[in-house]
Copies of this chain bind each other. A is one copy, B any other.
Amino acid sequence: MTEEFEAKRRDILEGASEVFVRRGFAAGTTKEIAAEVDLSQPAIYHYVGSKADLLREIALHVDREMSAALDAGLASSRDPEEQLRGVIHEFTAAVVRDRRAFAVFFQELHSLEPNVRDKIAADERDFVAKVGRLITALQKRGRMPAGPPVVLAEAVLSMPSWMYHWYRPGGKLGAKDIADIYCRLIGLET
């Protein structure tokens, strides 16, 4: 695919996310998406495909972004505290970059085809389990409170996950500032 083709696809997926967040997947139409990105409906089909294809591409994009955030965070250090800080920073940056796509991802899981939904659920379990292992390592050092590591992992990951609901761009704080606040709140030095 050429760069221009890729850029068009990105624009269309961004516009589709905007429409799906505002109206829901079931109510949103490719006509509205075409209007949102100033293209024709046939162009939408040409560059991406049907409404279901749009949703699948948005969901798989977010799934890849989350896996990339996890991998980058884990690769950032060999120290579990720095790794957890890294995961929080990478995940927060991903949500800030793509908040509409994340909102669609979390709000429309039920609208996805079962095989895509299953893949996403498996990737999420893997994400939580890996963060749980960091928590276990930090508990051994007395840097995390007692409790099941998976519940603590869900609690920590709540903060970037839930941003899709409340975060709006244009404020004074960037992704890095917000992630630093998350880290300080749970006692990780920044």
Per the bound structure, the CA–CA distance linking A128 and B155 in Å amounts to 18
Known: A22-B110, A24-B25. A181 touches B159 (CB 8 A): no
B162:A154 contact, CB within 8 angstroms: yes
Known: A24-B25, A145-B185, A185-B186. A151 touches B165 (CB 8 A): no
Per the bound structure, the CA–CA distance linking A39 and B153 in Å amounts to 41
Query: Interface residue count for A (Cβ, 8 Å)?
Result: 42
Residue of B21, B180, B187 touching A187 (CB-CB under 8 A): B187
Q: Within residues 146 to 162 of chain A, which ones have a CB less than 8 A from any CB in chain B?
A: 146-148, 151-152, 154-159, 161-162
B186:A110 contact, CB within 8 angstroms: no
Rounded to whole Å, the gap between the CB of A172 and the closest CB of chain B is 8
Taking CB atoms, residues of chain B closer than 8 Å to A128 are 166
User: CB of A111 within 8 A of chain B?
Assistant: yes
Per the bound structure, the CA–CA distance linking A145 and B162 in Å amounts to 20
User: CB of A98 within 8 A of chain B?
Assistant: no
Known: A25-B26, A151-B181. 11 other contacts (CB 8 A): A26-B26, A27-B110, A27-B111, A145-B181, A151-B173, A152-B185, A154-B162, A154-B163, A155-B185, A158-B161, A158-B162
Report which A residues bind B (CB closer than 8 A).
21-27, 106-108, 110-111, 128, 144-148, 151-152, 154-159, 161-163, 165-166, 172-173, 177-178, 180-182, 184-187
